[in-house]
Structure 1
């Protein structure tokens, strides 16, 4: 089974947000050395936790620091932008890293609607026109010319377009255009994943580049030397998830501070539900859960998203899973 990485440049309490960006670059090099297939970057805006706001710029920096690993967006929130400009940006990236660029696109705003309107005053209308935006983007990344316009630079390779989603909507759209599809399993704790993947495969219309459906799941996972250590480090994300449900956003807190603060009685059911579904534990435990998930969905690749207050804990988690699942 192949493993890939989804990184979100998460801000850490006690450190500058700029450090999160540099840590993303270091993690990409680490992931390549471990044998990961892809390194994807998310796009979020005006959030105090996830500070990766420009994946295409990070991709260029990663392209200059790596040689083999595929680099992608997961994704570009397409309603914010003109498809031609996105196609041009990713054709430039393809020229920098030939045959290694993934162009994942999503419909969600990647933040609140007030921010979305600041990025594009017609954000709501653009979201409604998402299928047309994808159609044009797909054309400009694969054809020499579309609508009498050429997206430069041209070359022997073209970015591989993916549709990202957490509902049936993205699954149906990916199937309609004959594009690969990634379901945000970590975003819904798996809710709706079976239906989305089944819908995608059932409705899939073969395309020239993708004659067969190609699906993956993006999963949040954390492995450590022992289950107790992993559960301890996972406290940081648990605290963030609870705060998010209360409408509070901020940098990732240390697990020691979270343990000292504890969770309220009202928060306990939320935490227990998260822990019951979490891919958290020792490397063999997490690897077994990932294998079982891939078998259930008939997948040969999973994308792993990991948060930790200590960057070394995160790197160690990816290394443990690479060893346990025998990545090359």
Structure 2
């Protein structure tokens, strides 16, 4: 079993948003040393909770601090941008970290309508052009000439001008049937956001993707993963205590209240209101939270049920040390260094 990481640069109460970016920067080499396969970054806009707004910029800094781990976006919200410009950005990243770049794209706004309009005042509502954008991006990011244009830089002497094997690896991201169908039609890898809505629809999406998959030159077989939120600690009680930060955030999010991740000690002292408690307890029963062994057992069972060989782990904790320790515990439990 391969494990990867999705980091979202989550803002923490009592710290600056710039601290969240710097924490992402230091987490990547930590996860590389633990044996994780990929380190992916999300893109969100005008949110006080998730402050990773420019994954392509942060990936360049991480590329200079790592040597092996694959780096990528999960993802670039393509309707906001020119596919040609995104291809150029990721060709530059591939020059910085040859053969290590994943280009995950999605059609969700990653924010509200106002931020979407501010990012691209000329975009059509509904992202109707997304499939055509993906086709353009697929061609340009491969280094091929397309529509009379080439996205530079191309590779070095060992790389043919249009060698797709050395280009950024394109992924379609989604949490519905739409992304699964598009990825299958184009012969591209697919990543399902399981941590959205606690995995609702994952079985149908993966079944559609595998059943409709059309082999491509670079991907003759379907390649699929899911992103799961998980947190491990030395004891179940400690893990559940740290998870209170996300429990509080989810409860507030459902009520339209957004802010930085709060400290678990403060949440434990205040508790949850009567109207909140049922939803929080239901989420806790489904959560991948506990000791490394408990979390690993749940993750292995989920991967087996969905026939997956790789899982992407997303972990929120108010304590950066607790988050790093969680990734270390899971790496040890899954024997990641031995798998390298």
Q: Where on the TM-score scale, by shorter chain, does this alignment land: which range?
A: over 0.9
Q: Which stretches in structure 2 are left out of the alignment for 5+ residues? A: 160-165
Tell me if structure 2 keeps the 8 A contact 1:223–1:286: yes
Which residue does 1:109 correspond to in 2? 109
CA deviations over 1:165-212 (Å, ceiling 9, x no partner): 000000001001100000000012010000000000000000000000
Query: Is 1:215 the counterpart of 2:202 in the alignment?
Result: no
CA RMSD of aligned residues (A): 0.8
Q: d(CA) in 1 for partners of 2:213 and 2:332?
A: 34
| Aligned mate of 2:287, from 253, 278, 285 | 278
- State how 1:1-328 maps to structure 2 within 5 Å: 1-125=1-125, 127-155=127-155, 156=159, 157-328=166-337
Secondary structure (helix, strand or coil) at the match of 1:259 reads: helix
CA deviations over 1:279-305 (Å, ceiling 9, x no partner): 000000000001001101111100000
Q: d(CA) in 2 for partners of 1:140 and 1:188?
A: 34
Tell me if structure 2 keeps the 8 A contact 1:219–1:304: yes
Q: d(CA) in 2 for partners of 1:118 and 1:277?
A: 37
Residue 126 of structure 1 and its aligned partner are, at CA, apart by 6.7
Q: Which stretches in structure 1 are left out of the alignment for 5+ residues? A: none
Tell me if structure 2 keeps the 8 A contact 1:102–1:161: yes
Q: d(CA) in 1 for partners of 2:125 and 2:275?
A: 39
Q: d(CA) in 2 for partners of 1:296 and 1:60?
A: 36
Q: d(CA) in 1 for partners of 2:144 and 2:258?
A: 44
Higher mean Cα deviation, 56-65 or 121-130? 121-130
Q: d(CA) in 2 for partners of 1:55 and 1:199?
A: 29
Q: d(CA) in 2 for partners of 1:293 and 1:123?
A: 38
What's the TM-score, normalizing by structure 2? 0.95
Secondary structure (helix, strand or coil) at the match of 2:336 reads: coil
Tell me if structure 2 keeps the 8 A contact 1:80–1:126: no
Q: d(CA) in 1 for partners of 2:89 and 2:61?
A: 13
Secondary structure (helix, strand or coil) at the match of 2:12 reads: coil
How many residues end up aligned between the 2 structures?
A: 328
What's the TM-score, normalizing by structure 1? 0.99
Tell me if structure 1 keeps the 8 A contact 2:143–2:152: no
Tell me if structure 2 keeps the 8 A contact 1:144–1:154: no
The runs of at least 4 consecutive aligned structure 1 residues that moved more than 6 Å come to none
CA deviations over 1:247-289 (Å, ceiling 9, x no partner): 0100000000111111111101110111111000000000000
Tell me if structure 2 keeps the 8 A contact 1:171–1:181: yes
Residue 229 of structure 1 and its aligned partner are, at CA, apart by 0.3
Residue 4 of structure 1 and its aligned partner are, at CA, apart by 0.1
